[in-house]
Amino acid sequence: MSAGALRVTGLTVGYGRRAVASDLTLPPLEPGEVVALVGPNAAGKSTILKALAGLTPARGDIRLGAADLQALSRGKRAELVGFMPQTLPSSSDLTVLEGMMAALRAVPGEGGALEERALAALESLDAGPLALKTFAELSGGERQLASVAQSVARQPRLLLLDEPTSALDLARQHQVMALARSYAREGRVVVAVLHDLALAALWADRMVVLSAGRAHAVGQPDEALTPDILAEVYGVVARVERCSRGRLQVIVDGLAGPRGVTG
Protein backbone atom coordinates (compact mmCIF):
# COMPACT_ATOMS: atom_id res chain seq x y z
CA MET A 1 0.00 0.00 0.00
CA SER A 2 1.28 3.45 -0.85
CA ALA A 3 -0.33 6.76 -0.06
CA GLY A 4 1.57 8.78 -2.60
CA ALA A 5 3.47 11.83 -1.44
CA LEU A 6 1.88 14.67 0.50
CA ARG A 7 2.33 17.85 -1.51
CA VAL A 8 1.59 21.19 0.12
CA THR A 9 1.77 24.21 -2.17
CA GLY A 10 0.87 27.81 -1.40
CA LEU A 11 -0.98 27.00 1.83
CA THR A 12 -2.55 30.00 3.50
CA VAL A 13 -4.42 29.51 6.76
CA GLY A 14 -5.37 31.70 9.70
CA TYR A 15 -8.13 32.96 11.92
CA GLY A 16 -10.37 35.77 10.77
CA ARG A 17 -8.17 38.22 8.92
CA ARG A 18 -4.99 37.06 10.60
CA ALA A 19 -2.87 34.65 8.57
CA VAL A 20 -0.90 32.15 10.63
CA ALA A 21 0.79 30.75 7.51
CA SER A 22 0.91 32.52 4.16
CA ASP A 23 1.78 30.79 0.92
CA LEU A 24 3.55 27.90 2.65
CA THR A 25 5.11 25.38 0.29
CA LEU A 26 6.83 22.21 1.47
CA PRO A 27 8.92 19.70 -0.43
CA PRO A 28 6.98 16.48 -1.11
CA LEU A 29 6.65 14.35 2.03
CA GLU A 30 7.05 10.80 0.83
CA PRO A 31 5.22 7.62 1.82
CA GLY A 32 7.29 5.74 4.37
CA GLU A 33 8.46 8.93 6.05
CA VAL A 34 7.91 10.17 9.57
CA VAL A 35 8.12 13.95 9.38
CA ALA A 36 8.50 15.98 12.57
CA LEU A 37 6.94 19.43 12.53
CA VAL A 38 8.79 21.45 15.15
CA GLY A 39 9.07 25.09 16.11
CA PRO A 40 8.37 27.53 18.93
CA ASN A 41 5.04 28.05 20.64
CA ALA A 42 2.49 29.76 18.41
CA ALA A 43 4.57 29.16 15.26
CA GLY A 44 1.47 27.67 13.62
CA LYS A 45 2.12 23.93 13.89
CA SER A 46 -1.35 22.91 15.09
CA THR A 47 -3.06 25.30 12.70
CA ILE A 48 -1.18 23.84 9.74
CA LEU A 49 -1.97 20.29 10.86
CA LYS A 50 -5.66 21.20 11.12
CA ALA A 51 -5.51 22.75 7.66
CA LEU A 52 -4.02 19.53 6.27
CA ALA A 53 -6.81 17.58 7.97
CA GLY A 54 -9.45 19.89 6.52
CA LEU A 55 -10.57 20.97 9.99
CA THR A 56 -9.99 24.66 9.42
CA PRO A 57 -10.54 26.60 6.19
CA ALA A 58 -7.38 27.05 4.14
CA ARG A 59 -6.35 28.15 0.68
CA GLY A 60 -3.76 26.44 -1.43
CA ASP A 61 -3.08 23.06 -2.88
CA ILE A 62 -2.89 19.95 -0.68
CA ARG A 63 -2.47 16.66 -2.48
CA LEU A 64 -1.98 13.13 -1.30
CA GLY A 65 -0.79 11.14 -4.25
CA ALA A 66 -3.37 11.81 -6.95
CA ALA A 67 -6.02 13.04 -4.51
CA ASP A 68 -6.69 16.77 -4.31
CA LEU A 69 -7.62 16.89 -0.61
CA GLN A 70 -9.11 20.39 -0.82
CA ALA A 71 -11.59 19.20 -3.44
CA LEU A 72 -12.79 16.18 -1.46
CA SER A 73 -15.92 16.07 0.66
CA ARG A 74 -15.33 15.99 4.42
CA GLY A 75 -16.18 12.28 4.51
CA LYS A 76 -13.86 11.33 1.64
CA ARG A 77 -11.05 13.38 3.15
CA ALA A 78 -11.56 11.66 6.50
CA GLU A 79 -11.10 8.29 4.78
CA LEU A 80 -7.59 9.34 3.76
CA VAL A 81 -6.48 11.60 6.60
CA GLY A 82 -6.38 10.88 10.32
CA PHE A 83 -5.82 13.62 12.88
CA MET A 84 -4.92 13.31 16.55
CA PRO A 85 -5.62 16.64 18.27
CA GLN A 86 -3.38 18.26 20.85
CA THR A 87 -6.28 18.71 23.28
CA LEU A 88 -7.80 15.46 24.36
CA PRO A 89 -11.30 14.72 25.64
CA SER A 90 -11.37 14.18 29.40
CA SER A 91 -15.01 14.03 30.42
CA SER A 92 -16.59 11.46 28.13
CA ASP A 93 -18.66 8.71 29.74
CA LEU A 94 -17.92 6.46 26.78
CA THR A 95 -15.39 3.73 27.27
CA VAL A 96 -12.22 4.00 25.21
CA LEU A 97 -13.43 1.11 23.04
CA GLU A 98 -16.85 2.69 22.52
CA GLY A 99 -15.20 6.00 21.60
CA MET A 100 -12.90 4.29 19.13
CA MET A 101 -15.78 2.35 17.56
CA ALA A 102 -17.84 5.55 17.24
CA ALA A 103 -14.90 7.28 15.56
CA LEU A 104 -14.46 4.38 13.16
CA ARG A 105 -18.18 4.28 12.35
CA ALA A 106 -18.17 8.02 11.63
CA VAL A 107 -15.87 7.55 8.65
CA PRO A 108 -17.74 6.55 5.51
CA GLY A 109 -16.32 3.55 3.73
CA GLU A 110 -14.77 1.97 6.81
CA GLY A 111 -14.75 -1.82 6.47
CA GLY A 112 -15.89 -4.34 9.06
CA ALA A 113 -14.21 -5.83 12.11
CA LEU A 114 -14.23 -2.46 13.81
CA GLU A 115 -13.95 -3.84 17.34
CA GLU A 116 -11.02 -6.05 16.36
CA ARG A 117 -9.27 -3.10 14.73
CA ALA A 118 -9.83 -0.89 17.74
CA LEU A 119 -8.51 -3.54 20.11
CA ALA A 120 -5.54 -4.29 17.87
CA ALA A 121 -4.61 -0.60 17.84
CA LEU A 122 -4.71 -0.49 21.64
CA GLU A 123 -2.69 -3.70 21.85
CA SER A 124 -0.08 -2.27 19.47
CA LEU A 125 0.59 0.32 22.17
CA ASP A 126 0.45 -2.24 24.95
CA ALA A 127 -2.69 -0.44 26.12
CA GLY A 128 -5.33 -3.19 25.85
CA PRO A 129 -6.45 -2.75 29.48
CA LEU A 130 -7.66 0.78 28.69
CA ALA A 131 -10.42 -0.53 26.39
CA LEU A 132 -13.13 -0.76 29.03
CA LYS A 133 -12.24 2.36 31.01
CA THR A 134 -14.09 5.61 30.38
CA PHE A 135 -12.11 8.62 29.18
CA ALA A 136 -12.97 10.35 32.45
CA GLU A 137 -11.15 7.58 34.38
CA LEU A 138 -7.88 7.84 32.47
CA SER A 139 -4.69 9.58 33.49
CA GLY A 140 -3.36 12.26 31.12
CA GLY A 141 -0.86 9.87 29.58
CA GLU A 142 -3.45 7.11 29.22
CA ARG A 143 -5.76 9.57 27.45
CA GLN A 144 -2.98 10.41 25.04
CA LEU A 145 -2.28 6.73 24.35
CA ALA A 146 -5.97 6.08 23.73
CA SER A 147 -6.08 9.04 21.39
CA VAL A 148 -3.05 7.82 19.42
CA ALA A 149 -4.64 4.35 19.21
CA GLN A 150 -7.88 5.89 17.97
CA SER A 151 -6.14 7.77 15.17
CA VAL A 152 -4.13 4.69 14.12
CA ALA A 153 -7.13 2.33 14.21
CA ARG A 154 -8.58 4.32 11.33
CA GLN A 155 -5.54 3.32 9.23
CA PRO A 156 -5.50 6.60 7.32
CA ARG A 157 -2.99 7.08 4.53
CA LEU A 158 -1.92 10.38 6.00
CA LEU A 159 -1.61 10.39 9.80
CA LEU A 160 -1.31 13.75 11.53
CA LEU A 161 -0.33 13.64 15.21
CA ASP A 162 -0.36 16.83 17.25
CA GLU A 163 2.08 16.38 20.14
CA PRO A 164 1.42 12.64 20.54
CA THR A 165 4.07 12.18 23.25
CA SER A 166 3.78 15.31 25.41
CA ALA A 167 2.13 13.50 28.34
CA LEU A 168 4.01 10.22 28.07
CA ASP A 169 6.82 8.63 30.07
CA LEU A 170 10.04 7.62 28.34
CA ALA A 171 9.00 4.07 27.47
CA ARG A 172 5.62 5.20 26.19
CA GLN A 173 7.22 7.94 24.07
CA HIS A 174 9.36 5.23 22.51
CA GLN A 175 6.34 2.98 21.89
CA VAL A 176 4.35 5.73 20.20
CA MET A 177 7.20 6.84 17.97
CA ALA A 178 8.04 3.21 17.07
CA LEU A 179 4.40 2.69 16.13
CA ALA A 180 4.44 5.86 14.03
CA ARG A 181 7.52 4.65 12.24
CA SER A 182 6.24 1.14 11.53
CA TYR A 183 2.96 2.65 10.43
CA ALA A 184 4.78 4.94 7.99
CA ARG A 185 6.95 2.10 6.71
CA GLU A 186 3.81 0.37 5.45
CA GLY A 187 3.63 3.11 2.83
CA ARG A 188 1.90 5.94 4.65
CA VAL A 189 2.91 9.49 5.49
CA VAL A 190 3.10 10.44 9.17
CA VAL A 191 3.48 14.06 10.28
CA ALA A 192 3.97 14.58 14.02
CA VAL A 193 4.21 17.86 15.90
CA LEU A 194 6.89 17.44 18.54
CA HIS A 195 8.52 19.81 21.00
CA ASP A 196 11.20 17.35 22.12
CA LEU A 197 13.89 17.90 19.50
CA ALA A 198 16.01 14.93 20.56
CA LEU A 199 12.98 12.64 20.24
CA ALA A 200 12.19 14.18 16.88
CA ALA A 201 15.77 13.73 15.70
CA LEU A 202 15.76 10.12 16.80
CA TRP A 203 12.57 9.07 15.05
CA ALA A 204 11.92 11.46 12.19
CA ASP A 205 13.28 10.92 8.71
CA ARG A 206 12.93 14.63 8.07
CA MET A 207 12.10 17.68 10.11
CA VAL A 208 10.24 20.84 9.18
CA VAL A 209 11.33 23.70 11.43
CA LEU A 210 8.51 26.19 11.48
CA SER A 211 8.95 29.82 12.48
CA ALA A 212 6.05 32.29 12.37
CA GLY A 213 4.23 30.16 9.82
CA ARG A 214 7.24 29.78 7.53
CA ALA A 215 9.32 26.67 6.91
CA HIS A 216 12.63 27.98 8.18
CA ALA A 217 14.40 24.69 7.49
CA VAL A 218 13.44 21.33 6.04
CA GLY A 219 15.79 18.39 6.02
CA GLN A 220 17.20 15.41 7.81
CA PRO A 221 17.60 16.01 11.54
CA ASP A 222 21.28 16.92 11.32
CA GLU A 223 20.49 19.45 8.58
CA ALA A 224 17.46 20.96 10.32
CA LEU A 225 18.93 21.14 13.81
CA THR A 226 22.01 23.32 13.73
CA PRO A 227 23.10 25.86 16.35
CA ASP A 228 22.41 28.67 13.88
CA ILE A 229 18.89 27.48 13.11
CA LEU A 230 18.15 26.96 16.82
CA ALA A 231 19.36 30.49 17.56
CA GLU A 232 17.33 32.01 14.74
CA VAL A 233 14.13 30.10 15.40
CA TYR A 234 14.09 29.52 19.16
CA GLY A 235 16.36 32.35 20.29
CA VAL A 236 18.64 30.00 22.22
CA VAL A 237 22.35 29.38 22.29
CA ALA A 238 22.56 25.63 21.84
CA ARG A 239 24.97 22.87 20.97
CA VAL A 240 23.97 19.92 18.83
CA GLU A 241 26.06 16.91 19.77
CA ARG A 242 26.20 13.31 18.70
CA CYS A 243 25.83 10.94 21.63
CA SER A 244 25.95 7.16 21.76
CA ARG A 245 24.86 5.40 18.55
CA GLY A 246 25.18 8.69 16.70
CA ARG A 247 22.02 10.15 18.19
CA LEU A 248 21.60 13.90 18.14
CA GLN A 249 21.24 15.73 21.41
CA VAL A 250 20.42 19.41 21.77
CA ILE A 251 21.99 21.11 24.76
CA VAL A 252 20.74 24.60 25.51
CA ASP A 253 23.30 26.86 27.16
CA GLY A 254 21.00 29.84 27.50
CA LEU A 255 18.96 32.42 25.71
CA ALA A 256 20.54 34.24 22.82
CA GLY A 257 20.63 37.85 23.92
CA PRO A 258 22.26 40.96 22.48
CA ARG A 259 25.31 40.35 24.71
CA GLY A 260 25.54 36.62 24.07
CA VAL A 261 24.39 33.85 26.35
CA THR A 262 22.01 34.82 29.13
CA GLY A 263 20.27 32.71 31.77
Ligand X SMILES: Nc1ncnc2c1ncn2[C@@H]1O[C@H](COP(=O)(O)OP(=O)(O)OP(=O)(O)O)[C@@H](O)[C@H]1O
Residues that bind ligand X (CB under 6 A): 15, 20, 39, 41-47
Residue among 72 and 212 whose Cβ is closer to ligand X: 212
Closest approach of Cβ 35 to ligand X, in Å? 15
Element at 179 (helix H, strand E): helix 170-185
Element at 6 (helix H, strand E): strand 6-15
Residue among 86 and 134 whose Cβ is closer to ligand X: 86
> How far, in Å, are 21, 44, 198 from residue 210 at the CA level?
10, 8, 16
Closest approach of Cβ 162 to ligand X, in Å? 7
Element at 37 (helix H, strand E): strand 34-38
- The pair phi, psi for residue 77, each rounded to 5°, is -65, -40
Q: Are 129 and 96 in contact (CB under 8 A)?
A: no
Helix axes 170-185, 140-153, angle to 10 degrees: 10
Give the whole-angstrom CA distance, residue 256 versus residue 115.
52
Closest approach of Cβ 62 to ligand X, in Å? 16
Neighbours of 108 (CB within 10 A): 11
Residue among 44 and 54 whose Cβ is closer to ligand X: 44
Query: Does residue 68 sit in helix, strand or coil?
Result: strand
Give the whole-angstrom CA distance, residue 84 versus residue 137.
20
Closest approach of Cβ 46 to ligand X, in Å? 3
Residue among 135 and 234 whose Cβ is closer to ligand X: 234
Residue among 51 and 127 whose Cβ is closer to ligand X: 51
Closest approach of Cβ 51 to ligand X, in Å? 9
Residue among 131 and 200 whose Cβ is closer to ligand X: 200
Residue among 3 and 43 whose Cβ is closer to ligand X: 43
Closest approach of Cβ 22 to ligand X, in Å? 13
Closest approach of Cβ 40 to ligand X, in Å? 7
Give the whole-angstrom CA distance, residue 82 versus residue 68.
16
User: Quick one: DSSP state of residue 34?
Assistant: E
Burial class (CB in 10 A: 0-12, 13-18, 19+), 169: exposed
